[in-house]
Amino acid sequence: MSRKTMPGSKREGSNGCSRLGTVTAVQANFYQVRLDDPLDWGSEDLESTNSLLCTRRALLKKLGQSVMVGDRVQVEDPDWTGGRGAISAVLTRQTMLARPPVANATQIFLVFSLAQPEIDPLQLTRFLLTAQQTRMQIGVGLSKADLVPEAVQRDWCDRLQQWGYRAIALSLVNEQGLGEVQEQLQGQLTVLSGPSGVGKSSLINHLIPHLNLRTGLVSQRWHQGRHTTRHTELFNLPQGGLLADTPGFNQPDLPIHPGDLAQLFPEIQRQLNHQSCHFNDCQHLQEPGCVLDKGWERYDHYVQLLEEITAQYDPSLHSGREESQTKTKVRRHGKQEREPRLEQKKYRRESRRSQHQSLADLYAEELQQDRP
């Protein structure tokens, strides 16, 4: 059946034709949408057949409705020949992540490498805490397991178990752990995250062989991976489910209140489930009546991160400096903005009145010197 005579299809500009789909990629003001209903055009390339490049209706822009990867959307007036369409509505999101920007995700799968580069426990903790804030299910994959002894693999899996997470040792060389990963990802919309250079793109290439994503090498100087993924994109898993590949980043932020940090450590929550501290706002440092055992592995990380976010959160530590280096500028319609304050006498132009006064003083001095 030709595209022109396909039942239910209408050319661009017609009314009444709409389909549901999922946003798989966002670039600038264009959105790649995979439609739910298969379109049988006799093509073996089902991926391109079911995908439309869409824009966003002007009404959505006026309403301030954003469109994210993972969004369930309604596409109007698809142009089957040109592969184009327009997003007219965004369905209610079940979940939403700001960084990476992904909607309707159900779990997060972190990938860290056991070697080249080796795991930094504090960096891993940052990623885990960032994932904990989402309240989603969390899985951990330890890649490049073939480069370390089996004892090292067991040690890291046991450590993460004590932290409160299930870890899977992975090797793409001998396909170790791939079956467990496929089972965990099946039927889920999973956000794949982790530092650069740990093998996320290589893992996706094994899970979805036809993609052939570009991979990168680890810097020999900095012992960190080079970025290969530039934007978030969704891929269909052969066993069912969607996988969101996200750009790697080495130092995720922790924009949380200091009082909420303890809730993101499973080790602390396990202890507090048996006995509560004397004070409700206990930070589990040296407060009297604190029941927290300080002998667990990540306690020093907890203290370090608590000090860091406390310094970031306390406005009194920055307000004086900010006030001295910035000033309020009133723009049109009374809108106020902060802008840098220039150092006085260094950048400020001398007024004409001062210039004239200086010239008058010089002239007077010259007259005084010329007098006998």
Is 197 annotated to bind a ligand? Reply is yes
Q: What is the DSSP string of 291-349?
A: ---TTSTTHHHHHHHHHHHHHHH-GGGTHHHHHHHEEEEE-GGG-EEEEEPPPTTTTPP
> Is 54 annotated to bind ligand?
no
335: annotated binding-site residue?
A: no
Residue 146 marked ligand-binding: yes
Q: Is 333 annotated as a binding residue?
A: no
Check the annotation: does 259 bind a ligand: no
Tell me whether residue 225 is annotated as binding: no
Residue 201 among known ligand-binding residues? yes
Kind plus residue range of the DSSP H or E element containing 52 = strand 51-56
Is 131 annotated among the ligand-binding residues? no
Specify whether the backbone of 314 is left (phi greater than 0), alpha (psi in -120 to 50) or beta. Answer: beta
Q: With the CA atoms of 71, 75, 79 and 82 taken in that order, what torsion angle do they form, in degrees rounded to the nearest 10? A: -10
> Has 301 been labeled as part of a binding site?
no
Q: Give the type of residue at 6.
A: M
- 370 annotated to bind ligand: no
CA dist 54 and 299 (Å) reads 49
**In 200-322, at which residue ranges do the beta strands (DSSP E only) sit?**
233-236, 242-245
Does residue 284 have a known ligand-binding role? yes
Burial (CB < 10 A; 0-12, 13-18, 19+), residue 348, is: exposed
Each residue of 34-48: b (16+ CB within 10 Å) or e?
bbeeebeeeeeeeee
248 labeled binding residue? no
Distances (CA, A) of 148 to 48, 56, 117, 175, 330: 41, 49, 12, 15, 60
Q: Which residues pair with 225 in a beta bridge?
A: 218
Beta bridge partners of 143: 113
Query: Residue 157, annotated ligand binder?
Result: no
Annotated binding site for Zn(2+): 277, 282, 284, 290
Known binding-site residues equal 143-146, 194-202, 277, 282, 284, 290
Residues marked as binding for GTP?
143-146, 194-202
